[in-house]
A = this chain, B = another copy of it.
Amino acid sequence: MSLASERASTATAVSPHPFDPIQPAEITLAVRILEAALPGIPLRYKRIDVNEPVKKDVIPYIEAERLRMPLPPKPTRVLYVMFHRLDTGAFLKALLNADTKSPIFIKELPREVQGPLDTDEVTEIEELCNRHPAVLAEIEKLKLPPGVTVCNDPWMYGTDTPDESRRLFQCFMYIVEVDHPQNNHYSLPCKFSPVFDATTMEFVRMDYLPGGADHQTAETSMWKPVKTIQYAHDLLDEPLRTDLKPYIVQQPEGASFSVDGNFVYWQKWRFRVGFNNREGLVLYNVTYDNRNIVYRLAVSEMTVPYADPRAPYHRKQAFDVGDCGFGVAANQLSLGCDCLGHIKYFDGCRTDAKGNPVTLKNVVCMHEQDNGLQHKHSNYRSDAATVVRNRQLVLQMICTVANYEYIFAYIFDQAANIELEVRATGILSTVPFDNENGATVPWGTNVGPGVMAPYHQHMFSLRIDPAIDGFNNTVYYEDSVPMPEDENNPYLVGYTTEQTVIKKSGTANTDVARHRVFKIRNDNVVNPITYKPVSYKLVTVPSQMLLVNPKAFGFKRAEFATKPIWVTQYRDEELYAAGEFTNQSRKADGVETWVQRNDSTENEDVVLWHTFGLTHNPRIEDFPVMPMEKISVMLRPDGFFTKNPALDVPASAQSFNKSTLHPEPVITSSCCSNISAGSKAKLYKRLD
């Protein structure tokens, strides 16, 4: 079938909503458009996705939806393609008009621009490394016992020189002591690390890793056997706990949400579930009780610089959004493992290297959860109480980036709050370290014999494109400060707030000592009771910013992580805090550049970027798999409504909740003889 005839035949199909994720047929379409435009040239596809629609074209459409007016035409559907020409090795970007099925542009990118890793490429490098003679020669020197093998994790090659234009991978090598699909090779890191060129598929260099606490390296020598610290249940020495009883969430009438494609309606909230290869889960057009709250919400970037000062670890700085992509790293979830209750899953889609669509099944899950009490008051005179529970709607995505896992959950509640909860789990990135003699390093933690986990930071950028009762908003911060000692404050107890409006694009700091609160308001809509513009506050996570020296590449590449708050005037295509191309970048091309425009940001279409993070100095308890560490950011109405918006949530009642009472043991005051035989036996067993 020719492209022309396909155009005709698909014309009657339902066209996607502007915020819908890419469909398999659109990947096929993009490949056909490119192959028609570049006939006969062998291409290798890295990424095919929807290009973000132009906001000014989308707004009339979604406002018509919200106001139930006749819909205007949909904005142009544009597809974004990153690919290589296999004849020249060039790296290209194309934008394609999916409606007219024709290219908008196809351009070759400069030699120093590297696209993100892709799944096929990582597999190719991994296999290349495993069979390369230089690597096999090192493995030979380990003189491994029978059954013990070596594997590798290819890493992006963090920039350490201004003139590198090869596409490089650093492979970290590990000993595989047990042949098991969940063997924890991170427990046994090797002391050599080859570098490969991913374009030419050539071996570049063998790096040797320090063995001790200094920068010294040595020739590879015989491996001294040491047992892997395993996490998989069937590889543990100790038995599993047997005293955990089932805990089942039942929703006999189903969930309280409704879903129509990627459109969700739950408890006065309406929004669209977006998904792309780079950011993964994105929320669009979030309204509450039919009032606009957020235009677009996503984790726009993330960087993980490591503190180990020694080569080649100074190059360990992953950009998990820009270099990898949370979308392509998202776990395909399964029922009953990652959430409880009544679950709805959403799929995503990516291309493979050949341009075939690959469905990413169940990459987002949605379910309700109970989060304890939302509000309660008892009248102490009458003892009459109003108790309302905090039912929440959770949209969750779990990303595996090699050793590590991030769990992102957007949580909506009935009091008009939106929370982003991030859980860090998975396996620490480890390095070899001869610690049998009691050695320690000041930049890491021994987590097992011969293995150390270096300190590192996880720095996230949450991009908030707000729409507080409209698309022109103002960001400001409010500090709580003592009132001066004067006649208005005769008893010296008074305190008040000071407001600072961010009038021009720029940055701001958090300030715990002043209880600094950031708010987004709509100057055009005044609350009839507070007499102040309607607003939402951003409950920030005040965090330590980037520790890397400003002169280092790691700083220049991730300037977004040097300030907690950035405000820019909205521009299409400005989506990613560290810029479009982060892999092997020399400097960022993101918020740090855009704020310099000195745009007006008062009562304008603004974007608020919040950088927050974890300085993660590993605990030994974080190994071999890490109990989650949780951080949470929230958007919370503050003068947006005229009273608690959850007042109309029905009360918590036993008839609805059906809780059960723990049986009381039957015990006389003198002895235990009256305990029923069963419960006594059980009690004794459990207390022993």
Are B670 and A646 closer than 8 Å at their CB atoms?
A: no
Closest B residue to A305 by beta carbon equals B493
Closest B residue to A317 by beta carbon equals B493
Report whether over half of chain A's contact residues are helix, strand or loop; otherwise say mixed. loop
A239: contacting residue among B14, B446, B648, B659, CB under 8 A = B648
* Chain B residues within 8 Å of A545, by CB: 513
Cβ of A426 within 8 Å of any chain B Cβ, yes or no, is yes
Provide the bound-state CA to CA distance between A639 and B661, in Å: 38
Cβ of A683 within 8 Å of any chain B Cβ, yes or no, is yes
How many residues belonging to A are interface residues under a CB distance threshold of 8 Å?
199
Within 8 A of B (CB), among A199-257: 215, 229, 231-233, 236, 238-241, 243-256
A251: contacting residue among B248, B306, B369, CB under 8 A = B248
Nearest CB of chain B from residue A591's CB, rounded to whole Å: 20
Are A425 and B376 closer than 8 Å at their CB atoms?
A: yes
A182: contacting residue among B263, B268, B338, B379, CB under 8 A = B379
* Chain B residues within 8 Å of A446, by CB: 529-531
Encoded as 1 (CB less than 8 Å from any B CB) or 0, chain A from 1 to 21 comes to: 000000000001110000000
> Given contacts A638-B621, A644-B231, are A244 and B256 in contact (CB under 8 A)?
yes
Closest B residue to A214 by beta carbon equals B488
Are A402 and B387 closer than 8 Å at their CB atoms?
A: no
Are A241 and B379 closer than 8 Å at their CB atoms?
A: no
Q: Which of A54-62, A460-468, A547-555, A568-576 contacts B (4 or more CB under 8 A)?
A: A547-555
Cβ of A97 within 8 Å of any chain B Cβ, yes or no, is no
Cβ of A162 within 8 Å of any chain B Cβ, yes or no, is no
Are A512 and B669 closer than 8 Å at their CB atoms?
A: no
Cβ of A494 within 8 Å of any chain B Cβ, yes or no, is yes
Nearest CB of chain B from residue A364's CB, rounded to whole Å: 12
Are A337 and B654 closer than 8 Å at their CB atoms?
A: yes
Are B661 and A241 closer than 8 Å at their CB atoms?
A: no
Nearest CB of chain B from residue A272's CB, rounded to whole Å: 13
Within 8 A of B (CB), among A461-486: 478, 480-483, 485
Are A662 and B344 closer than 8 Å at their CB atoms?
A: yes
Cβ of A587 within 8 Å of any chain B Cβ, yes or no, is no
Are A552 and B491 closer than 8 Å at their CB atoms?
A: yes
Provide the bound-state CA to CA distance between A253 and B549, in Å: 56
* Chain B residues within 8 Å of A343, by CB: 659-662
Are B495 and A307 closer than 8 Å at their CB atoms?
A: yes
Are B231 and A386 closer than 8 Å at their CB atoms?
A: yes
* Chain B residues within 8 Å of A356, by CB: none
Nearest CB of chain B from residue A207's CB, rounded to whole Å: 14
Provide the bound-state CA to CA distance between A250 and B336, in Å: 15
A652: contacting residue among B260, B338, B636, B686, CB under 8 A = B338
Are A440 and B531 closer than 8 Å at their CB atoms?
A: yes
* Chain B residues within 8 Å of A501, by CB: none
> Given contacts A515-B615, A654-B334, are A626 and B375 in contact (CB under 8 A)?
yes
Encoded as 1 (CB less than 8 Å from any B CB) or 0, chain A from 601 to 638 comes to: 00000000000000101011111111110000000111
Provide the bound-state CA to CA distance between A643 and B649, in Å: 44
A377: contacting residue among B215, B384, B415, B425, CB under 8 A = B425
Closest B residue to A400 by beta carbon equals B378
A340: contacting residue among B246, B309, B657, B665, CB under 8 A = B657
Nearest CB of chain B from residue A590's CB, rounded to whole Å: 20
Provide the bound-state CA to CA distance between A658 and B491, in Å: 61
Q: Which of A135-143, A278-286, A447-455 contacts B (4 or more CB under 8 A)?
A: A447-455
A14: contacting residue among B513, B514, B669, CB under 8 A = B669
* Chain B residues within 8 Å of A339, by CB: 372, 659
Within 8 A of B (CB), among A289-306: 305-306
Provide the bound-state CA to CA distance between A483 and B448, in Å: 25
State the copy count for this chain: 2
Q: A376-B407, A493-B548 are in contact. List 7 more A-B contacts (CB 8 A).
A: A307-B483, A314-B493, A337-B654, A341-B659, A345-B661, A455-B496, A495-B547
> Given contacts A338-B373, A376-B425, A549-B493, are A621 and B650 in contact (CB under 8 A)?
no
* Chain B residues within 8 Å of A656, by CB: 246, 336
Nearest CB of chain B from residue A164's CB, rounded to whole Å: 14
Nearest CB of chain B from residue A404's CB, rounded to whole Å: 8
* Chain B residues within 8 Å of A49, by CB: none
Cβ of A192 within 8 Å of any chain B Cβ, yes or no, is no
A-B contact pairs, 15 of them (CB 8 A): A236-B647, A236-B648, A241-B650, A259-B662, A263-B687, A338-B652, A345-B662, A440-B530, A440-B531, A443-B495, A446-B530, A480-B617, A512-B542, A517-B617, A625-B644
Are A657 and B512 closer than 8 Å at their CB atoms?
A: no
Are A309 and B493 closer than 8 Å at their CB atoms?
A: yes
Nearest CB of chain B from residue A645's CB, rounded to whole Å: 6
Provide the bound-state CA to CA distance between A240 and B427, in Å: 46
Are B342 and A494 closer than 8 Å at their CB atoms?
A: no
Provide the bound-state CA to CA distance between A334 and B233, in Å: 39
* Chain B residues within 8 Å of A551, by CB: 492
Closest B residue to A316 by beta carbon equals B493
Nearest CB of chain B from residue A530's CB, rounded to whole Å: 5
A309: contacting residue among B229, B381, B443, B489, CB under 8 A = B489
Nearest CB of chain B from residue A389's CB, rounded to whole Å: 8
* Chain B residues within 8 Å of A367, by CB: 659
